[in-house]
Amino acid sequence: MTKRSEFLQASGYLFSLAPAVLLGIASFTSLPYLPFVGLIVVAPFLRSVFGDFDESPPPEWSEGVATFLDFLPIAVGVAYLIACGCCIVHVARLIQVSRLGTMLGLWTSSLFASCVAHELLHRKTLVSRVLGRVVAGAIGYPLLEHEHRAHHASNGTSKLPEWPLQAESVWHFSGRRFRHTLATAWRGDRVAAMRNGHPLAGGLPLAIGTFIVCGFLFFLFGGTTALCIYLIQALATAWGMHAMTYVQHWGLGRYENDSERYSDLAWEDTCRLQCWLTFGIPYHQGHHLKNHRVYYRLAPTEGSPRQPAGYVVLLVACCFPPLWRALMKPALDAWRSSEPPLSAGRGLICIRRG
Amino acid sequence: MNSTLPGPNNRDLESVVCGATFAAEILTTIQAISTADTEAEVLDLLFSVRDSLGVEQAVFASFIRDDDSHESFRVMSAASAQWCLNYRDEDEWFSNDAWLLHASTRSEPAVDSEITYRNKGQVAKRDIAIRNGAKSSLIVPAPSSAGLSRLGILVLGSNQEDFFRGCNFVAYKALCRSLAMELGEWWIKHIRRELLDEYRVTDEELELLRRERLGHPTKQIATDLGITEASVNNRFQRLNAKFDTPNRRATANQAAEYGMI
């Protein structure tokens, strides 16, 4: 690969700054809907512009580019915290323009910021982990690290709310998962802290502390209304995380498939923009197979089930179970019968025709 | 490979330790482990040492301390298959296991009754062991040093409730510690070989990593090895991709952590 094409390909990951940038611009220009419109309404259509990655392994990346890509999540995490700070400072003005818009804008950027928090929390360095915890707290979901730790520790388990059952709706699954996460978070944190040799090494106290500080700052700058908006978006972000897990693993639990062969199954997608925006999360089966692999070294897993649409479309679809089944059942059947993988390619949705 | 469990053992620890060949058998096995090539050979040795130790069950697991997933776990079992299956079906198995926690944070062996169980999940895992015949267990950590992140744990299970007691327990424990350390050492060497095969790392590349670890600059490495700087850079780029790291410093650190250099 030439240096130029390598830099071009790597520069796509700069899109990961978009949620923070849009939130920052929204705060200064009093356009609270901007992140929601940009990332939820417009971005899915950009699939037709940027297309898909092919099935080949990722580039070897020269050391300079790899070091830059390695640093990018830290920059994105810091950028998100700055944007969040801007939003807090201007929240009173944003609320005057639109309460719903402020909530949706904040929620959208939180949902996408959870991807950078996820990438940072998977790393071994203290700086990355601490930043990941702070971002998780700021988006309003301090339980992210615990939830995710348990998720990787329980590969393929549908008995626990980790891999949704095929017959289960997103509403049932997210309720089950939210209750389980709340019930086990502190215990899990204590065990992780013990294992890592420091009372704070589990991560939950820092994330909760950040969440409380953010809530207090929203209250300070925007009063009770701003605090309520922050808390509602925090709840919506938590739901969004569970819904994402539903989308990523629906129907792929160990006991609904070949339990001997499969325990790390996940739906994958090769949409370029989505990979750039989310730090490679759509290569989800690969992520579960090697969870310390950094995002820029991930690639589609051979034979993995493929999403018939991007995350945003599937998140909307899963809210309506009949629509979800109509979209996903053909994809699941196709994968189980070992047909060639489905991909939406440059389209918004792909439905295999009988 | 012998996959059956021995019948109930009526010998107590005193009679096991006072057996004429006890120490010699264990030491011979420890020596044999150090020269074993394959997992099957070591597993056979684990079965034989289990009998010499007078217990019915023996499990050795090797893992990385801060691994939040299951990727790093390598388990060798001379124990009830049902125990393993029940354990696997338990919620959040290894991530919430008091015995593994003990091995991660302590270095001295402990009888299961001496370990603190912090929640229901941890108690449940101990109950599974008891239900499957390990009425008392000895948990022997195998810590590692020299910057290696891989640890080990040897679990010995007896069908007698107070098997791990008595004045000879100190001698018994000392031999178990040696055994655990040898098993841990074997896994580290074995995994090193596996990684070298998987990553297809040549001796020359290992030399590059060693020199990087020592802080040698690219120019010096190139001169010492009689290759060009561009060649050094290219080789490091390939190694970085194999190790999933961004640069040569991180690759050399990881290779050292895995015991490859």
Domain of residue B125, CATH code: 3.30.450.80
pLDDT in tens, A185-236: 998 898 888 887 788 888 999 999 999 999 999 999 999 999 999 999 999 9
Q: How confident is the model at residue A283, as a pLDDT?
A: 95
pLDDT band at B111 (very low <50, low <70, confident <90, very high): very high
Q: Is the pLDDT of residue B66 over 80?
A: no
Q: Does any domain span residue B48?
A: yes
Instruction: Indicate if B219 and B241 belong to the same structural domain.
Output: yes
Residues 6+ apart with CB under 8 A from B170: none
Is A292 near chain B, with CB under 8 Å? yes
Mean pLDDT of B172-178: 95
Q: Does any domain span residue B43?
A: yes
Mean pLDDT of B100-108: 91
pLDDT band at A354 (very low <50, low <70, confident <90, very high): very low
Q: B240, A294: Cβ pair inside 8 Å?
A: no
Q: Measure A67 CA to nearest chain B CA, in Å.
A: 5
Q: How confident is the model at residue A314, as a pLDDT?
A: 96
Q: What is the DSSP letter of A255?
A: G
Q: Is the pLDDT of residue B172 over 60?
A: yes
Q: Measure A201 CA to nearest chain B CA, in Å.
A: 11
Residues 6+ apart with CB under 8 A from A168: none
Q: Please, what is the average pLDDT of chain B?
A: 88
Mean pLDDT of B127-145: 92
Q: Does any domain span residue B175?
A: yes
Provide, rounded to the nearest whole percent, the portion of chain A with pLDDT above 90. 72
Q: Which residues of A touch B89 (CB under 8 A)?
A: 159
B68 to chain A: closest CA residue: A149
Q: How confident is the model at residue B1, as a pLDDT?
A: 43
Instruction: Indicate if B55 and B122 belong to the same structural domain.
Output: yes
Instruction: Indicate if B172 and B215 belong to the same structural domain.
Output: no
Alpha-carbon distance of B168 to B12, in angstroms, equals 11
pLDDT band at B2 (very low <50, low <70, confident <90, very high): very low
Instruction: Indicate if B121 and B207 belong to the same structural domain.
Output: no
Q: How confident is the model at residue B3, as a pLDDT?
A: 47
Contacts 24+ apart (CB under 8 A), B10-17: B11/B54, B12/B160, B12/B163, B12/B166, B13/B54, B13/B163, B13/B164, B13/B165, B13/B166, B13/B168, B13/B169, B13/B172, B14/B166, B14/B167, B14/B168, B15/B54, B16/B53, B16/B54, B16/B172, B17/B168, B17/B171, B17/B172
pLDDT in tens, B13-43: 888 888 888 999 999 999 999 999 999 999 9
pLDDT band at B89 (very low <50, low <70, confident <90, very high): confident
Alpha-carbon distance of B91 to A113, in angstroms, equals 29
Q: Where are the beta strands (DSSP E) in A204-327?
A: none
Instruction: Indicate if B240 and B128 belong to the same structural domain.
Output: no
Q: Are A146 and A189 in contact (CB under 8 A)?
A: yes
pLDDT in tens, A248-296: 999 998 777 665 556 689 999 999 999 999 999 999 999 998 888 999 9
Q: Does any domain span residue B4?
A: no
Instruction: Indicate if B106 and B232 belong to the same structural domain.
Output: no
Six-digit token string for A57? 């392994």
How many Å is the Cα radius of gyration of chain B?
Answer: 21
Instruction: Indicate if B154 and B126 belong to the same structural domain.
Output: yes
Chain A interface test: which of B65, B68, B118, B238 (most A C-beta within 10 Å): B68
pLDDT in tens, A10-65: 999 999 999 999 999 999 998 999 999 999 999 999 999 999 888 888 888 999 99
Q: Is the pLDDT of residue A241 over 90?
A: yes
Instruction: Indicate if B129 and B89 belong to the same structural domain.
Output: yes
pLDDT band at A337 (very low <50, low <70, confident <90, very high): confident
Residues 6+ apart with CB under 8 A from A72: A13, A14, A16
Q: Measure A65 CA to nearest chain B CA, in Å.
A: 8
Instruction: Indicate if B74 and B41 belong to the same structural domain.
Output: yes
pLDDT in tens, A107-161: 999 999 999 999 999 998 899 999 999 999 999 999 999 999 889 887 777 778 8
Instruction: Indicate if B93 and B61 belong to the same structural domain.
Output: yes
Mean pLDDT of A237-251: 96
Q: Does any domain span residue B213?
A: yes
CB atoms closer than 10 angstroms to residue B1: 9
Q: Which residues of A touch B70 (CB under 8 A)?
A: 152-153, 155
Q: Is the pLDDT of residue A316 over 80?
A: yes
Instruction: Indicate if B217 and B169 belong to the same structural domain.
Output: no
pLDDT band at B7 (very low <50, low <70, confident <90, very high): low
Q: How confident is the model at residue A224, as a pLDDT?
A: 97
Is A183 near chain B, with CB under 8 Å? no
Mean pLDDT of B204-226: 92
A349 beta partners? A309
CATH number at residue B212: 1.10.10.10
Nearest CB neighbour to B95, from listed A149, A196, A290: A149
Q: How confident is the model at residue A201, as a pLDDT?
A: 85
Alpha-carbon distance of A300 to A287, in angstroms, equals 10
Q: Which residues of A touch B241 (CB under 8 A)?
A: 60-61, 297
Is A62 near chain B, with CB under 8 Å? yes
Q: Which of B207, B97, B187, B149 is nearest to A292 (CA)?
A: B149
For residue B247, give its domain range: 200-257
Q: B237, A291: Cβ pair inside 8 Å?
A: no
pLDDT in tens, A155-195: 777 778 888 999 999 999 999 999 999 998 998 898 888 88
Q: Does any domain span residue B195?
A: no
Instruction: Indicate if B20 and B135 belong to the same structural domain.
Output: yes
Q: Are B103 and B142 in contact (CB under 8 A)?
A: yes
Q: A63, B93: Cβ pair inside 8 Å?
A: no
Six-digit token string for B35? 């020269």
Mean pLDDT of B209-213: 93
Q: Does any domain span residue B7?
A: no
Q: A152, B69: Cβ pair inside 8 Å?
A: yes
Residue where a domain terminates, one of B132, B164, B188: B188
Domain count, chain B: 2
